[in-house]
Amino acid sequence: MKKTVSSLLAVSALGAGMMATPAFAEDLAVVGSWSSLPLNKQFETPFWTEELPAASNGEINVQMTTHDQMGIGGGDVFRILNDGVFDVGMTVADYAVGDAPELEGLDVPLVANTAEEAQAMVEAARPMVEDIFKERFNSKVLAIAPYPPQVVFCKGDVTSLEDLKGKKVRGSGRMTTKFLEALGANGVNVAFSEVPGALERGVIDCAVTGAGSGYSAGWWEVSDHLMTIPLGGWDPVVTAMNFDKWNSLSPEMQKLITDEVNSKFEAPAWAAAAGALEADIACLTGNGTCPAGDPASMTLVEASDADLAKAKEILTTVVLPEWAERAGADWVKRWNDTVGKTVGVAVPLS
């Protein structure tokens, strides 16, 4: 109850901030993704609070917070956006798959090993994602930006995928959790912010997140082995605007927002993702130069050919067919015709 009250108060405060804006300004209430992570600090907040208002010559006024600062769960962001409580929301797409299981197809693990491959996968999926957000959340997709590749942080020795069997592992999304369970691990649902405490207390043995996210959040302080096989995909973050708000804007304002989001937010975020894994590994292991601060000293565990072959087998024979049952044949056919062709994977249709 306290969390609900605090969330409503935060929403009220966000709206109250609009009351003092000039009458000629278009007011936008914006809710960003995790406040502590680089995507928000380096791209979301500067874009919405500085770059877009400047590009509009004062015609757009933004009041911004993040879902964690408001006390809103990541899985609630697009539901609340649907209701029009705020105008723009952004969070990890995987957080919303409880409401839209077909959305799992945006972030399939193990099929994109570079930022270029991940971006190609996202672009192939984008028309499908736009339809999902329109139907499920009454929202217009403005951008899809990446977190770093989702790797595995473990407390205790691991040398291969085989060593995850029997361990309690926090997945970064439903498809990742299904993969871990098919591998023989115990998938555990733990919020991102609660992972360090869970690792420290032994509630979980390992956890999946982006390498850079784990560095920023201090996961290296409570874990010691880093397995770089991308079990969790790229955890794309979707930025969307409530369709009622979008439709209330002039065509000129819509074009301005679309152009600015594409050129000054989405494109730079993808550009920064290229090569980021190497830098993040350097920060976590001390093997190389860390541009983000003092390096940690985790043990690096690289995937073997046998690990990769086993992972792909589980993905294609267990994980994707299970997703097909949840998503339905129509969405799976769309995925096969777009994303599947891009990444060279086909989901069997019964």
As a residue count, the chain comes to: 350
Residue 2: which pLDDT band, with cuts at 50, 70 and 90?
very low
Cα–Cα distance, 336 to 315 (Å, whole number): 15
Residue 14: which pLDDT band, with cuts at 50, 70 and 90?
low
Q: What is the pairing mode between strands 150-154 and 206-210?
A: antiparallel
Q: What is the percent of the chain where pLDDT is above 90? A: 76
Cα–Cα distance, 198 to 205 (Å, whole number): 8
Q: Which amino acid is at 344?
A: G
Give the residue from 326, 322, 317 showing the smallest Cα distance to 345. 317
Please name the residues in contact with 271: beta carbons below 8 A apart, sequence gap of 6 or more: none
329: three-class secondary structure by DSSP: helix
Question: pTM to 2 decimals?
Answer: 0.86
**Owner of token pair 């009454």:** 138
Give 74-87 pLDDT, tens digit per residue. 999 999 999 999 99
Whether the CA torsion 7, 69, 142, 232 is positive or negative: it is negative
Q: What is the pLDDT of residue 233?
A: 82
Instruction: Quickly list DSSP for 76-132.
Output: GHHHHHHTTSSSEEEEEGGGGTTT-GGGGGGS-TTS--SHHHHHHHHHHHHHHHHHH
- From its phi and psi, is residue 66 left (phi > 0), alpha (psi between -120 and 50) or beta? beta
pLDDT averaged over the chain? Answer: 91
- Distances from the Cα of 279 to the Cαs of 108, 184, 212, 230, 282, in angstroms? 23, 31, 8, 16, 5
Q: Mean pLDDT across the stretch 32-52? A: 96
Angle between helices 320-327 and 174-183 (to 10 degrees): 140
**Owner of token pair 């877009």:** 52
pLDDT of 21 above 70: no
DSSP state of 223: -
Backbone angles phi, psi at 227, to 5 degrees: -100, 120
Cα–Cα distance, 339 to 332 (Å, whole number): 10
Q: Mean pLDDT across the stretch 176-193? A: 92
Q: What is the pLDDT of residue 113?
A: 81
Give 260-291 pLDDT, tens digit per residue. 999 999 999 999 988 888 899 999 999 999 99
Structure tokens at 331: 């969405």
Give the residue from 38, 171, 176, 191 showing the smallest Cα distance to 107. 176
Measured between its terminal Cα atoms, the distance across the chain in Å is: 45
Cα–Cα distance, 55 to 180 (Å, whole number): 45
pLDDT of 10 above 60: no
Give the residue from 316, 313, 314, 317 showing the smallest Cα distance to 340. 316
Computed on alpha carbons and rounded to an integer, the radius of gyration of the chain in Å comes to 20
Q: Which of 20-24, 31-35, 317-321 has the lowest mean pLDDT?
A: 20-24
Q: Which of 20-29, 200-209, 236-245, 297-306 has the lowest mean pLDDT?
A: 20-29
Asked if residues 235 and 221 have their Cβ atoms less than 8 Å apart, the reply is no
Q: What is the pLDDT of residue 263?
A: 98
pLDDT of 1 above 50: no
